[in-house]
């Protein structure tokens, strides 16, 4: 029997599969599309995802193919520089097309031994006490101990589970595509600048090799939202907004997206879990969806691996919902707020001006950026030190960097006292005695996802915390 079936080979699914495989879990990804998509949705990664890649030794591959941009101006496009001294070693946006992100994550998963089966569509599932049976479009059945639905916003897994997906339906739609144009670049830039004064959600910009990415509000919401628009549809909407279609031709691909904002009621039903867009959808304001999916996978991977490995303490797998559901709820709210701030009505415009003034206060600006980039997330692990539940930034140690110590996806006790011990858990938790001028705590216990589970210097206290995350001690 397979340990875990991941339904959906998008960024969330392959990230999760890689994380599971890091712990030796036998995982199979089922992806319905035979070929990777050419459609480029996300254009970048935010700080927390960049850190996550660094924590697994993957960042250099992404840096080699991406471009670093300043962090200012990301919240509702309000033009303010990033706050000083952001609490991260990576204070930038990494511009990288989603097709490249998908490919790099899939490559990593494959290198680790994940089997990605393309052209395999899940159409049914049944679970019992011992496992889950997945039914595929060609009638094949596969059995696994767990199944995770990473199958996107229209998730078949979520529907089969009957999990509610409350929120707002698509009320507005945009057309998106990559095309060539006949007008010169200066004309494109000038027309776009003028049109954007009165129209938001519109843009035409060069992406290299004479190709432009174009986005324009659609005339309405399509009846069949799965069908791509035609070139003529896109040209018509460009004319509507900008007065010209720029001579758009030779489309590389065309797509549409909407502003539906929904959150799954539950992330877990027995042996089946949901992650990424299958669990939450929202408009792409601030560029957060893919980031959220990668971070869901990072939270779930080690917990599900612990369950499969037989060492998970009671409640560990359920903490995936408890921790990640509120994070998604906040992201949904952040996109709702940004959508309002982009309205050209006088009221929202006044609120936008006010917020822009408030962002001159460093702490307000910092708060918004930390929220949007995912580094402000604090899981509720109860009362305690301010770092408890937060991810720790990368810090320099006498012998290297903290994030280098997390590549294997294990727990970590960073011990500046040299008096502590993880005896009994050494098969799951690394004990590193080192010091950092940047870390003002005697010792910190980090979970495999880099979040702080305990801070202190008392061995008895540490021993009481270890089983909460890493299960019973080995004999």
Ligand X SMILES: Cc1cc2nc3c(=O)[nH]c(=O)nc-3n(C[C@H](O)[C@H](O)[C@H](O)COP(=O)(O)OP(=O)(O)OC[C@H]3O[C@@H](n4cnc5c(N)ncnc54)[C@H](O)[C@@H]3O)c2cc1C
Binding residues for ligand X (CB under 6 A): 7-13, 30-33, 41-44, 98, 121-122, 150-152, 156, 176, 257, 276-277, 284, 287-291, 293
Q: Give me the least distance between CB of 436 and ligand X, in Å please.
A: 31
Compare residues 49 and 416 and give the one whose CB is closer to ligand X: 49
Compare residues 7 and 86 and give the one whose CB is closer to ligand X: 7
Q: Give me the least distance between CB of 403 and ligand X, in Å please.
A: 21
Task: Return the sign of the alpha-carbon dihedral for residues 52, 327, 103, 251.
Answer: negative
Compare residues 121 and 330 and give the one whose CB is closer to ligand X: 121
Q: What is the 3-state secondary structure (H, E, C) of 328-386?
A: HHHHHHHHHHHHHHCCCCHHHHHHHHHHHHHCCCHHHHHHHHHHHHCCCCECCCCCCCC
Q: Give me the least distance between CB of 308 and ligand X, in Å please.
A: 21
Compare residues 3 and 259 and give the one whose CB is closer to ligand X: 259
Tell me the CB-side half-sphere exposure of residue 388, using CA atoms within 13 A. Answer: 11
Q: Give me the least distance between CB of 140 and ligand X, in Å please.
A: 12
Q: Give me the least distance between CB of 93 and ligand X, in Å please.
A: 9
Compare residues 288 and 338 and give the one whose CB is closer to ligand X: 288
Q: Give me the least distance between CB of 154 and ligand X, in Å please.
A: 7
Compare residues 278 and 453 and give the one whose CB is closer to ligand X: 278
Classify 8 in phi/psi space as left (phi over 0), alpha (psi -120 to 50) or beta. Answer: left
Question: Residue 279 and residue 288: Cα distance in Å, rounded?
Answer: 14
Q: Give me the least distance between CB of 278 and ligand X, in Å please.
A: 6
Distances (CA, A) of 445 to 51, 138, 350, 411, 469: 18, 47, 46, 7, 10
Compare residues 10 and 301 and give the one whose CB is closer to ligand X: 10
Count CB neighbours of 385 within 10 A.
14
Q: Give me the least distance between CB of 250 and ligand X, in Å please.
A: 20
Compare residues 284 and 396 and give the one whose CB is closer to ligand X: 284
Q: Pick from 149, 170, 172, 150: which is nearest to 161 by CA?
A: 149
Compare residues 17 and 452 and give the one whose CB is closer to ligand X: 17
Q: Give me the least distance between CB of 43 and ligand X, in Å please.
A: 5
Q: Give me the least distance between CB of 471 and ligand X, in Å please.
A: 29
Is-contact 92 385, C-beta < 8 A? no
Question: Residue 316 and residue 152: Cα distance in Å, rounded?
Answer: 25
Compare residues 42 and 55 and give the one whose CB is closer to ligand X: 42
Compare residues 44 and 456 and give the one whose CB is closer to ligand X: 44
Compare residues 88 and 255 and give the one whose CB is closer to ligand X: 255
Q: Give me the least distance between CB of 290 and ligand X, in Å please.
A: 3
Q: What is the 3-state secondary structure (H, E, C) of 257-318?
A: EECCEEECCCCEECCEEECHHHCEECCCCCCCHHHHHHHHHHHHHHHHHHHHHCCCCCCCCC
Q: Pick from 125, 78, 133, 105: which is nearest to 17 by CA?
A: 105
Q: Give me the least distance between CB of 257 and ligand X, in Å please.
A: 4
């Amino acid at each position: 029997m397979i340990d875990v079936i991941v339904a959906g080979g998008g960024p969330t699914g392959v990230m999760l599969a890689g994380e599971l495989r890091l712990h030796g879990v036998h995982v199979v990804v089922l992806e319905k599309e035979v070929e990777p998509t050419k459609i480029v949705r996300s254009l970048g990664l935010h700080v927390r995802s960049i850190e996550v890649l660094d924590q697994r030794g993957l960042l250099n591959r992404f840096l080699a193919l991406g471009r670093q941009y300043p962090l200012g101006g990301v919240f509702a496009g309000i033009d303010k520089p990033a706050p000083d001294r952001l609490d991260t070693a990576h204070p930038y946006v990494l511009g990288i097309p989603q097709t490249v992100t998908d490919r790099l994550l899939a490559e990593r998963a494959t290198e680790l031994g994940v089997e990605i089966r393309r052209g395999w569509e899940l159409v049914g599932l049944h679970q019992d006490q011992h496992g889950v049976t997945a039914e595929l479009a060609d009638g094949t059945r596969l059995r696994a101990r767990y199944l995770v639905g990473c199958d996107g916003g229209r998730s078949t897994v979520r529907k089969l589970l009957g999990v509610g997906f409350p929120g707002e339906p698509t009320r507005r739609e945009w057309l998106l595509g990559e095309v060539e144009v006949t007008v010169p670049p200066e004309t494109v830039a000038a027309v776009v600048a003028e049109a954007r004064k009165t129209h938001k959600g519109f843009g035409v910009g060069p992406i290299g090799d004479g190709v432009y990415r174009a986005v324009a509000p659609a005339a309405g919401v399509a009846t069949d939202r799965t069908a791509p628009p035609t070139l003529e549809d896109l040209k018509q909407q460009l004319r509507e907004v900008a007065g010209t279609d720029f001579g758009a031709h030779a489309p590389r691909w065309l797509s549409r997206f909407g502003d539906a904002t929904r959150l799954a009621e539950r992330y877990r039903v027995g042996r089946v879990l949901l992650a990424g867009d299958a669990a939450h959808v929202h408009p792409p304001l601030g560029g957060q969806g893919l980031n959220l999916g990668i971070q869901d996978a990072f939270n779930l991977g080690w917990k599900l691996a612990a369950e499969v490995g037989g060492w998970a303490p009671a409640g560990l797998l359920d903490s995936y919902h408890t921790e990640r559901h509120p994070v998604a709820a906040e992201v949904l709210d952040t996109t709702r707020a940004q959508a309002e701030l982009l309205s050209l009505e006088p009221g929202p415009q006044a609120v936008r001006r006010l917020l822009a003034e408030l962002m001159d206060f460093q702490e307000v600006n910092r708060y918004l950026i930390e929220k949007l980039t995912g580094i402000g997330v604090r899981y509720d692990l109860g009362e305690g030190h301010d770092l408890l539940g937060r991810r720790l930034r990368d810090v320099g140690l006498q012998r290297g960097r903290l994030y280098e110590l997390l590549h294997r996806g294990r727990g970590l006790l960073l011990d500046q006292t040299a008096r502590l011990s993880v005896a009994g858990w050494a098969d799951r938790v690394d004990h590193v005695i080192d010091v950092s001028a940047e870390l003002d705590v005697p010792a910190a216990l980090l979970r495999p996802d880099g979040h702080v589970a305990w801070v202190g210097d008392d061995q008895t206290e540490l021993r009481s915390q270890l089983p909460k995350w890493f299960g019973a001690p080995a004999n």
